[in-house]
Amino acid sequence: MVAPHPYPRRLQAPAQSFFLFGMRDVGKSTWSRLAFPTARRVDLLDEGLFQSYLRDPALFGRELLGLPAGASVVVDGIQRLPSLLNEVHRFIENQGLHFVLLGSSARKLKQAGTNLLAGRALRRVMFPLLPEELGRDFDLTEVLRFGSLPVVWQSSAKAESLEAYVQLYLKEEIQAEALVRNLPGFARFLPVAALFHGQVLSAAGLSRDAGVARTTISGYLEILADTYLAWLLPAYEGRLRVKERKHPKLYWVDPGVVRAARREFHPPTEAERGPLFEGWVGTLLRAYGEAGSALGLGHDGLFHWAPTEGDTEVDFLIQRGREFTALEVKAKEHLSSSDFKGLKAIASLKGIQRRLVVFLGARPFRTDDGIEALPVAAFLRELESRTL
C-alpha cells in the first residue's frame, strides 16, 4: 500500500483516456493511485510482467476482456511497450474502457510511429511540485538549490538523492531503454548540457565541450526533451525591423537536477542564481500555460525575443492569438534602469499588451511607461488565479 502523497497535485483527470507524461519520479504513479484507487493497474516497470507481455503481447488484451464498460485501466511505463497501444485503441473503441497511460519518455512512442491513438487519448504533462502544491512548505531558496521533485523534496539527504537520481536516469532511462548507442558519450554530454541551462543553444559549443560529434548533439537534445528533463524555447520570429535570431534557448525542467548533472550541491552562487531563477519561472509558465499541461491556463506559444543587433533581449514572450505578454526575470531585490532595457525595446512589437519583470523584491511597482515589476509572490498569485 502506497502512502498518500503529502502534497496534493493540482492535475485534474480528463473524462476521456489520456497520456500523462513527465520526468522520472515526478509523481505520476502516486497521483494515479490516488486519483484512480479502483482502477486495474498494469505496471510495465515490473520486469516480470513486462517480460510476459513481451513474449505474448496478446496476454494484455485477454486480461482486459472481463472488465466492464467504462472501467479505468492505469498502464504505468507505457513507453516500454508501445505495441500495447494497438490493444488500448481496440478496447477504447469496442469496450469503452478508460485508459490512463503513464510515461517518462515519449521517445519510443514516436519512434514506433504511433500517433498517440489519433486523438482518442488526450495528452497531459506533470511537472515537479509547484509552489501552490507545496503550500506553506514552499521555499524559493530551497527550490533553486535542490529543485522540487517529490522524491528529492521529501528526502532527508537531498544532495545524495539528486546524485542518485542522475545516475538512475542514465541507468534506467537511457541504458535500459537503449535510447543511445554510446552511453559514455551521452554521460559526457549531460553535464555540458547542464552548463548551457538558460543560454541560447550552440550545437558547436556543446559538441566541442562534450567531445561528441555535432551531428549527434541534436539527437541527444531530443532525448533530454523526450524524457522531460529539458526543453527548448524557440526564438520569436515576427516581422520586425531587425531579424530575430533563430536559435532556441535550453532550459532544464528542475533546478536541482540541472545542478546535480553538474555535480553542484552547494548553495547557488550569485552567478548561478540568475539562470536557475529564470529557468524555474520558465517551467512555471509551461506548467500553467501549455496546451496539454496539467493546469491549463492556456497560451498559443512561448518564445524568447532577441534581435540580432545589440544585446537587447526579453526572456519570455507569451502569445495568445495576436496578443503578447513580455516577461523578464531578474534574480535581484532591487532593479535598475538597465533591467528594463529589453522590455522598453519590445514595446514596438505589435500586439504587446503587458510588459512584466519578475524579481526578488518585496513590493510591486509600475514604471512611468507602464512596465510592471512583480515580486515572486505577486507573480505566483497571477499564475494561480489564471490571470497572467
Asked whether residue 144 is domain-assigned, the answer is yes
pLDDT band at 237 (very low <50, low <70, confident <90, very high): confident
Whole-angstrom Cα distance, residue 384 to residue 388? 9
Classify residue 111: in a domain, yes or no: yes
296, pLDDT greater than 60: no
Residue 261 has pLDDT above 90, yes or no: yes
Does position 371 have pLDDT exceeding 90, yes or no?
Answer: yes
Q: What pLDDT score was predicted for residue 3?
A: 46
Output 78 or 242, whichever has higher pLDDT: 78
Contact predicate 220/193, CB 8 Å: yes
Please check the confidence at residue 294 and state whether its pLDDT lies above 70.
Answer: no
Instruction: Indicate if 224 and 373 belong to the same structural domain.
Output: yes
Does residue 198 share a domain with residue 61?
A: no
Task: Indicate whether 6 belongs to any domain.
Answer: no
Q: Please report, as a single letter, which amino acid is at residue 136.
A: R
Please count the structural domains in the chain. Answer: 2
Residues across the chain: 388
Q: Residue 295: pLDDT above 80? A: no
Find the domain containing 118 and state its range.
18-125
Please indicate, yes or no, if residue 13 is contained in any of the structural domains.
Answer: no
pLDDT tens profile 269-288: 999 999 999 999 999 999 99
Per-residue pLDDT, averaged over 15-30, amounts to 94
Which residue did the predictor score with more confidence, 295 or 125? 125
* 147 Rama class: left (phi>0) / alpha (psi -120 to 50) / beta: left
* Residue showing cell 548540457: 193
Q: What share of the chain is helix, strand, coil (3-state, %, to 5)?
A: 45, 20, 40
Same domain? For 217 and 115 the reply is no
Identify whether 369 is part of a domain: yes
Give me the percent of the chain exceeding a pLDDT of 70.
Answer: 91
8 Å CB contact between 329 and 373 = no
pLDDT recorded at residue 115: 58
Q: Do residues 211 and 358 both lie within one domain?
A: yes
Q: Are residues 167 and 76 located together in one domain of the fold? A: no
In this predicted model, what pLDDT tens digit does every residue of 125-148 receive, in sequence order? 999 999 999 999 999 999 999 999
- Return the pLDDT at 297: 57
Q: What is the mean pLDDT of residues 145-168?
A: 95
Domain final residue pick, 81, 104, 125: 125
Among residues 95, 125, 155, the one where a domain terminates is 125
Q: Is the pLDDT of residue 293 over 90?
A: no
Which residue in this structure is represented by grid cell 537536477? 257
Q: Tell me: do 47 and 167 sit in the same domain.
A: no
Question: Is 12 part of a structural domain of the chain?
Answer: no
CA atoms of 188 and 211, how far apart (whole Å): 8
Q: Does residue 290 carry a pLDDT above 70?
A: no
Q: Is the pLDDT of residue 240 over 50?
A: no
| Structural domain ending residue among the three candidates 125, 156, 189 | 125
Q: Give all strands of the β-sheet with 230-233 in edge-to-edge order.
A: 199-200, 249-252, 230-233
> Residue 73 in contact with residue 87, Cβ under 8 Å?
no
Q: Are strands 18-21 and 249-252 parallel, antiparallel or unpaired?
A: unpaired
- Could you tell me the CATH number of the domain that includes residue 83? 3.40.50.300
Chain segment 202-217, per-residue pLDDT in tens: 888 888 988 888 888 9
Within-domain flag for 251: yes
pLDDT of residue 241: 45
Query: Phi-psi region for residue 119, left (φ > 0), alpha (ψ -120 to 50) or beta?
Result: left
Across the chain, mean pLDDT equals 89
Same domain, 151 and 77: no
Per DSSP, which regions of the chain are E strands?
18-21, 40-43, 72-76, 98-103, 122-125, 199-200, 230-233, 249-252, 301-305, 314-320, 323-329, 352-359, 365-366, 372-375
Where does the pLDDT of residue 39 fall: very low under 50, low under 70, confident under 90, or very high at 90 and above? Answer: very high
What average pLDDT does this structure show over 349-356? 94
Report the pLDDT value the prediction gives residue 242, as an integer from 0 to 100: 47
108 and 156 in a common domain = no
Dihedral, CA of residue 317, residue 319, residue 324 and residue 325, to nearest 10: -50
pLDDT band at 244 (very low <50, low <70, confident <90, very high): very low
Q: Do 35 and 177 fall into the same domain?
A: no
Domain shared by 367 and 321, yes or no = yes
Residue 8 belongs to some domain of the structure: no
Q: Above 70 in pLDDT, residue 185?
A: yes
How large is the average pLDDT for residues 225-229? 94
pLDDT for 194 equals 95
Q: What are the pLDDT digits (tens) for 77-114? A: 999 999 899 899 999 999 999 999 999 988 878 766 55
Whether pTM > 0.85 for this model: the answer is yes
Q: What is the pLDDT of residue 56?
A: 94
Specify the pLDDT at position 179. 77
pLDDT score for 306: 86
The pLDDT, as a whole number, for residue 385 is 83
Helix (H) / strand (E) element for 270: namely helix 270-289
186 and 326 within one domain:
yes
Q: Report pLDDT for 96.
A: 94
CA distance 357 to 44: 44
- The residue type found at 198 is G
Average pLDDT of 14-39?
95
Are 2 and 30 contacting, i.e. CB atoms less than 8 angstroms apart?
A: yes
Q: Say yes or no: 98 and 196 in one domain.
A: no
